[in-house]
Amino acid sequence: MRVEQLARKGILKIASYIPGKSIEEVKKEYGKKRWIKLASNENLLGPSPKALEAIRKELSKIHFYPEGPSPLLRKALAKTFSLNEKNVVTSNGADNLILMIANAFINEGDEVILADPTFPVYTNVTQIMGGKPIRVRLQHYTHDLDAMLNRVTQKTKLIFVCNPNNPTGTIVTDPLFKRFLSRLPNRIIVILDEAYGDFVENPLYPNSLSYIEDGKQVIALRTFSKVYGLAGLRIGYAIGREDLIHCLYQVRDPFPVHRLAEVAAVAALADKDHIQKSKQLVYEGRGYFYNQLERFGIPFVRSEANFIFVDFKRDIEEIFKRLLGEGIIIRPGRAWGYPTCGRVTIGRMEDNRRFIKALKKIL
């Protein structure tokens, strides 16, 4: 029997998520040299030393299964954000939480509204469950909430708002989000993906916890991959109303978070100094990039995240390949519908300077 007849309906037509090129991948193609990866928005400062120490202490226990509900981390998160533990669920990275949301709430034929472009996993999980993604083009690189409201129908089940948005780094402000939420039918769940929320400086950034405390139909997604520097351990969490979080537990894997990830996350959450250093690295890097790109006359989108969306005004594949020749990896924007743009992660100052030096040489 042909695989088309065996596979779940529609999954063979899904565009697979393609991550940024890894250093290992480009080394095979371009040879060994000192590579800088500015493609995947990782914390180039690295993880908290306290997280590394927690991992070392836990290593001798990895022959035991972890406790399924991640009680240590849930307790730490509940204490940090003054929540009940029943408002929190942890999982194997925010990507897995997005899949859990799809499993828990999307039925075949349901419509899911999302920005275009935004994080592509929203589309993938919707299609896996037989739902229909409704894409609404960004306006000025930002979510067009009014246009999203206009696309709401009786079939709308979820709306994803990536805030700050990936790949543009822009935010939806609190007054606009509050107005948006007030105009939605109460049968619709809004997913606020706040993977990059720790880097926001704008005082008008929405406080998702306040909406959850008020009982709104909002689920906030957060991750330990960015400011905490634990991308390789794959750990994230969702916060929401107790009944919504219960639905996520109904579709959760038995052991989604392994022992090393949990203890590292608990330690990283408590290391306020390292969190502040990670934020400061991004704030200083953003300012440096702004100044340098303006000097070159290169357009860019002002960002509230740890990356910048840049319009090189030239074929991005050419820029991408020439930067690879200089030992620098960025993320091309063609897949998002921007053939002259690229997303550049903010790194350490030596990384940022090397990127600007290479860009000057190329341009």
Predicted confidence band of residue 7 (pLDDT cuts 50, 70, 90)? confident
Predicted local confidence at residue 9, as pLDDT = 80
Averaged pLDDT for residues 344-361: 97
Report how far residue 19's alpha carbon sits from residue 39's, in angstroms, rounded to the nearest whole number: 9
Q: Is the pLDDT of residue 32 over 70?
A: no
Query: Is it the case that residue 33 has pLDDT exceeding 90?
Result: no
Confidence category of residue 263, pLDDT binned at 50, 70, 90: very high
Domain identity same for 164 and 91: yes
Both 236 and 334 in one domain: the answer is no
What is the per-residue pLDDT across 216-237, written as a single tens digit (0 to 9) for each? Answer: 999 999 999 999 999 999 999 9
Q: What are phi and psi of 246, to 5 degrees?
A: -60, -40
> Quick check: 47 pLDDT over 90?
yes
Residue type, 82: S
pLDDT in tens, 69-102: 999 999 999 999 999 999 999 999 999 999 999 9
Give the CA distances from residue 133 to residues 189, 220, 237, in Å, rounded to whole numbers and listed in that order. 15, 20, 24
Q: What is the pLDDT of residue 92?
A: 95
User: Tens of pLDDT along 297-318?
Assistant: 999 999 999 999 999 999 999 9
How far is the C-alpha of 190 from the C-alpha of 114, rounded, in Å?
10
Task: Please report, for residues 66, 218, 232, 249, the alpha-carbon distance to residue 213 in angstroms, rounded to integers and kept in the order given.
Answer: 30, 10, 32, 20
Domain span including residue 306: 3-46+273-362
18 shares a domain with 144: no
Please count the structural domains in the chain.
2
- Do 163 and 128 lie in one domain? The reply is yes
User: Looking at the structure, do residues 150 and 205 belong to the same domain, yes or no?
Assistant: yes
What's the pLDDT tens digit per position in 152-165? 999 999 999 999 99
Prior bond of 69 cis (ω within 30°): no
Can you give the pLDDT at residue 178? 97
Are 110 and 161 within one domain? yes
**Is residue 134 pLDDT above 70, yes or no?**
yes
pLDDT tens-digit map of 191-221: 999 999 999 999 999 999 999 999 999 999 9
How far separated are the first and last CA of the chain, in Å rounded? 54
- Say if residue 91 is in the same domain as residue 174: yes
For residue 69, count CB atoms less than 10 angstroms from its CB and return exposed for 0-12, middle for 13-18, buried for 19 or more.
middle
More confident residue, 22 or 105: 105
Among 229, 254, 271, give the residue marking a domain's end.
271
> Is the confidence at residue 39, as pLDDT, over 70?
yes
- Tell me the mean pLDDT in the region 325-344: 96
DSSP alpha helix (H) spans, the chain? 3-6, 23-30, 49-58, 71-81, 93-105, 121-128, 145-150, 174-182, 208-213, 242-250, 259-270, 272-296, 316-325, 349-362
* 321 and 202 part of one domain: no
Domain co-membership, 143 together with 199: yes
Sign of CA dihedral 114, 115, 121, 124: positive
Looking at the structure, tell me whether residues 186 and 298 fall in a common domain: no
Question: What backbone phi and psi angles, to 5 degrees, belong to 202?
Answer: -65, 125
Res 19 pLDDT > 80: no
pLDDT surpassing 90 at residue 42? yes
Identity of the residue numbered 193: D
CATH of the domain at 247: 3.40.640.10
Angle (deg, nearest 10), helices 93-105 and 242-250: 100
Residues 228 and 102 reside in one and the same domain: yes
- Res 10: pLDDT: 75
> What percentage of residues in the chain have a pLDDT greater than 70?
98
- Dig out the tokens for 214 from the structure: 């008020």
CATH number for position 315:
3.90.1150.10
Pairing of strands 236-240, 88-91: antiparallel
